[in-house]
Structure 1
Amino acid sequence: MNGAEALIETLQGCGVDVCFANPGTSEMQLVAAIDRQQGMRAVLGLFEGVVTGAADGYGRMADKPAITLLHLGPGLANGLANLHNARKAGSPIINLVGDHATYHLQFDAPLTTDAAGVARPMSDWTRVSRSNRDLAQAGAEAFSVAMGYPGKVATVIAPADHAWTDGAAPVASRTVPAAPHSPRGAISSAANGLKAVNGQKCLFLGGRALRADALHLAGRIAAATGCRLVAETFVARHQRGVGRVSVEKLPYFGEQAEAFLKDFDTIVLCGADAPVSFFAYPGKPSWLSPSGATIINLASKNEDVQAALAELADLLNAPSNPANLQRSCITPAKPGKLDGASLGAIIGELMPENAIVSDEGATQSANVMNMSAGAKPHDWLQLTGGAIGQGLPLAVGAAVACPNRKVIALQADGSGMYTLQALWTMARENLDITTIVLNNGSYAILNIELLRVGVENPGPKALSMLDLKNPSLTWTQISEGMGVPAVRATTTEDFRSALIAALSQKGPRLIEAILE
């Protein structure tokens, strides 16, 4: 057995059964090993950013890692933006990056790079194998790291000669470390802060604190203390909809977030850092919490948030019935031209139970989130790291992880162009994804940001860099060219009919929504 075969058998023994791949010459032994491993699914992406984004979506929904198979340092570099998002989301991922044979590195061939150096900024752990026999050991270690709470990005660099040399053997999986628990003092401090008679109190939630079971505990705490429940702006996975505990959402723009938070005297953090502005702006604050507020860290992102919430609920003698249970509330869409509000109303009305939404809707996302709050129970995935080009690949990974659930990719037109190759993978794998492209013909968020940073009277060159209408993008043609059937909708009636048709069928569909 060669090193590649031992590595792949080791990973499958750990429970890894999906590989998102964009391989090259140095990875051919790994390709062959995956081919020979029964039960290991291989999913091809035509760009590395699709591969890493899909692994992120898979990790968020499966709570275990997939493999990415990438070609040397430059191939890994093409996928780094979505590894950045995955790391911010706490997604478990194992990257397998091929490298030149160890004896070939000295010749500085065209693709020679410091692959480990490329990996480190977007990985929680990086390891270069030391031999053919060590490659399986590195894989077992990578799985243990990736499964560390809440999820980590682990990267293994596999020199080609280690992969093709015989004499290796698979190794047993390593123990997955238990999730760290919050100190008892943190639980007591949070209880005291939330029991305070005076002032407004907030339980600020992020990460795994937005899963349904953790939210139920948060709702019990709210019932006991009267605190408000607030979610961070961009979430890895939020389980929401009818019957689940609802939360308020921290606004994106810094001044709006600052105004939202200004009256809180106590902010208890659970699975989230204290909120800061997404960017710096002239004359505007970066720190968004009120200067006089008491900030209490109940559980960090890397501590077991559900256990912390359970202990806090017990300490508070919280009632068994939570506050803030979401009721069904569907607002009818207004007829006529399609806008964000009517689009959101129709999605909220028609979204099937247990749907998964991959949200990279940019300026229209808030509309759709607000209008779908009272929809059937569903999962909502967002752009955690801010590196656009995540939405379509994330949908691919979610659909692979959950083949019996409908996935809705809510995709802004500009950011969709970063990783549009994901449509081809949807077609190739016949994934049950309905993509809704929100076409407003511009990088709308950047037009807003141009004004917010203080640029006055921007000229034609500046405005041209934010415009997508010269030439206009025709997403129906792009989609059809990738193998995904597509229709265009310009009115609420068109969109409603198109969404009913798409959701009633299995397999990939795309709706190009032309927004006012």
Structure 2
Amino acid sequence: MNGAEALLETLVASGVEVCFANPGTSEMQLVSAIGNTGRMRPVLCLFEGVASGAADGYGRMADKPALTLLHVGSGFANSLANQHNARRAGSPLVNIVGDHASYHLQYDAPLTSDLPALAAWASAWTKVAESPDDLAAAGAAAVAEAQAENGRIATVVVPADHAWNAASGAAAVQPPPVPPAVADTLIAQTASRLQSGRPTVLFLGGRALREENLYRLGQIAAATGARLVCQVFPARLQRGAGRVAVERLPYFAEQATEALAGTEHLILVGAPAPVSFFAYPDKASWLAPADCEVSTLATAGDDIDSALEALVAAVGASGEPSLVTAAEAPAPEDGPLDGLLVGQLLAQHMPEDAIVVDDGATNGLGAYLLTERASRHDWLALTGGAIGQGIPAALGAAIACPDRKVINLEADGSAMYTIQGLWSLAREKADTVTILFNNRSYAILNIELERVGAGEPNASTLSMLDLSNPDLDFTSLARGMGVNASRAATVAEFATQLTQALATPGPHLIEAMV
């Protein structure tokens, strides 16, 4: 048994089942080990950002890590945008990154880089294997570390010689650390704030947005009058009919400031304090009122489940919470398609327990608002703001939950970051519907151009935000990668195509001309 085989045996024993791979020469021993185990599903991705985004989507839905298999520093660097989104989402993820043989690094070969530094930027835990036996032990530790604090990124750097040299055998599985408990004194202080009668907002993220915790939070809100507000881009929000509704903080700073106006207590549960995504002239960066008291009940890495259960008891919240009632969305009249009409049709047709991945930028908001009373579903948002998450995350979510339909809301500009992911969707027969909003523009940047006060735009300026000349043909691009694809320009066309795609297993793309 060599080091790569010992590593793979250890990872499989630790419960890892899927590897999203874009390997190179340094990883050939690892590729062979994956193929020979027969117990690790390899998913080839044609770009490293697809691999990391897919591992993020998988981790959010499976609550356990998948692997990425990446090639040296340049390959890992290609994965970083979606590593960033995964880090912000608190996704459990294990990166296995091949590197030059330990004795080869001294020669500064063309692909040599400071891989440990790159890995450390993205990861909560990083280990450069020191021997074939250390490689297996590092794999066991990485899986445990990835599941610490309710999910984070762990990276193992694999010198090629440690993969091909002999190893003693697989390492012992390591149990994941238990999330830290929230102190009883902190729960009592939070209960006191909630019962003070002052305007209070519970600001939510992480595991606080799971169905069972939203039920508890709904009980607390009913007993105390507190508002429930979640992050702009939650990692995984369980919503829809039969669940407790939460407000979603608006993206634009001035709207978010208005939404929080008058709040005297802001209690953080699984989320950091809300701040503006960017700085703007004459607009606030800190979004809570200046005189608002901000406190933390639990961080994203704490035992949020137990903390909220204790808080329900501390405030005497034994009643039933208000739940979202299902509403039959009316069928819109036929006519030209736009983002709001797509949302209305999605609310009408979305199956129960669907998973929605939102990389839709300006057109995703309408769909979000209009599906609040749709069948229950999970909503995965763009946590780190790095576009290009949608297609890969949909791939990972579909592999994690093969019995659930995945609907990806994808902007045209965002899609071009990771368009290669369509090929992997086709190869894996992933049960996905990609709704591709084609407005031939980086529409959000047209809005931001005005908001930052960058002056009156001219034709040259606007050309940098324009996705026409030539127009992108996503229907042809998708078909060229093996995905069933169609184009809709009217309500009737989209309704027909959506119904067919939702009823048919496998990957579909609908190019919505909006």
TM-score, structure 1 normalization: 0.98
Structure 1 equivalent of residue 481 of structure 2: 482
- CA–CA separation in structure 2 for the residues paired with 1:375 and 1:274: 29
Q: RMSD value over aligned CA atoms?
A: 1.0
1:172 Cα deviation from its structure 2 partner: 1.1
Q: 2:240–2:324: 8 Å Cα contact kept in structure 1?
A: no
4+ aligned runs moved over 2 Å, structure 1: 323-335
2: CA distance, partners of 1:303 / 1:462: 46
Is it true that 1:289 corresponds to 2:288 in the alignment? yes
Residue-by-residue CA offset, 1:20-45 (whole Å, 9 max, x unaligned): 00000000000000011122100000
Q: Aligned pair 1:97/2:124, yes or no?
A: no
Q: Partners in 2 of 1:357 and 1:403 — Cα distance?
A: 14
Q: How far apart, in 2, do the equivalents of 1:316 and 1:331 lie?
A: 40
- The equivalences for 1:301-380 within 5 A come to 301-380=300-379
Q: Give the structure 2 partner of residue 407 of structure 1.
A: 406
Which residue identity lines up with residue 380 of structure 1 in the other structure?
A: W
Q: Is the 8 A contact 1:334 1:342 kept in 2?
A: no
How far apart are residue 327 of structure 1 and its match? 3.6
| Residue 32 of structure 1 pairs with residue 32 of structure 2 | yes
2:89 matches 1:118: no
Alignment correspondent of 1:50? 50
One-letter amino acid of the counterpart of residue 234, structure 1: F
- How high is the sequence identity, in percent, across the aligned residues? 55
Deviations 1:313-354 (A, max 9, x none): 011110241134444352432431111211101001100011
For 2:127, what is the secondary structure of its paired residue?
strand
Give the AA of the match of 1:322: P
Partner SS state of residue 133, structure 2: helix
Structure 1 residues 408-427: Cα deviation after superposition (integer angstroms, max 9, x where no partner): 01000001100000000000
d(CA) in 2 for partners of 1:251, 1:304: 27
**Offset of 1:180 from its aligned partner?**
0.8
> Against the structure 1 CA distance between its residues 343 and 209, is the aligned structure 2 distance closer, same or farther, given a 3 Å change threshold?
same
Aligned AA for 1:263? G
Which amino acid in the other structure matches residue 155 of structure 1? T
- Quick one: distance in 2 between partners of 1:185 and 1:232? 26
- Show CA shifts across 1:496-515 (max 9, x none): 00000100100001000011
Structure-to-structure mapping, 1:384-395, within 5 angstroms: 384-395=383-394
Q: Secondary structure at the match of 1:398?
A: helix
Q: Describe the SS at the equivalent of 1:449.
A: helix
| CA distance in structure 2 between the partners assigned to 1:340 and 1:325 by the alignment | 23
Equivalent in the alignment of 1:66:
66
Q: CA deviation at 1:107?
A: 1.2
After superposition, the C-alpha distances for 1:268-302 in whole angstroms (9 at most, x for unaligned) are 11111111000001111100000111212111111
Structure 1 residue aligned with 2:224: 225
Deviation at 1:168, TM superposition (A): 2.9
Change (3 A) 1:251 1:189: same
SS at match of 2:200: strand
How many positions carry a matched residue from both structures? 514
Local SS of the residue matching 1:91: coil
Match of 1:108 in 2: 108
- Would you say the 8 A contact 2:90–2:152 is kept in 1? yes
Q: CA deviation at 1:167?
A: 3.1
Note if contact 1:231-1:248 (Cα within 8 Å) is conserved in structure 2.
Answer: yes
SS in 2 for 1:488: strand
Using a 3 Å threshold, how does the CA distance of structure 1 residues 285 and 149 change in structure 2: closer, same or farther? same
Cα distance, 1:312–1:331 mapped onto 2, change above 3 Å: farther
Match of 1:508 in 2: 507
Match of residue 192 from structure 2: 192
Alpha-carbon deviation of 1:137? 0.5
In 1, Cα distance between the equivalents of 2:285 and 2:60?
A: 29
The residue that corresponds to 1:178 in the other structure is 178
Is the Cα–Cα contact under 8 Å of residues 18 and 41 in structure 2 kept in the other structure? yes
Q: Secondary structure at the match of 1:342?
A: helix
State the distance in 2 between where 1:63 and 1:405 align: 16
Quote how far apart the aligned CAs of 1:255 are.
0.4
TM-score, structure 2 as length reference:
0.99
Could you tell me how far apart the structure 2 residues matched to 1:325 and 1:192 are? 28
Rounded to whole Å, the distance in 2 between the matches of 1:263 and 1:327 is: 31
Deviation at 1:77, TM superposition (A): 0.4
Looking at structure 2, the residues matched to 494 and 373 of structure 1 have their Cα atoms a distance apart, in angstroms, of 24
Determine whether 1:153 maps to 2:153: yes
Cα contact 2:340–2:367 (8 A) shared by 1? yes
2: distance between equivalents of 1:132 and 1:447?
Answer: 53
Alignment correspondent of 1:396: 395
> 1 CA distance for matches of 2:269 and 2:322?
18
Distance 1:217 1:27 in 2: 47
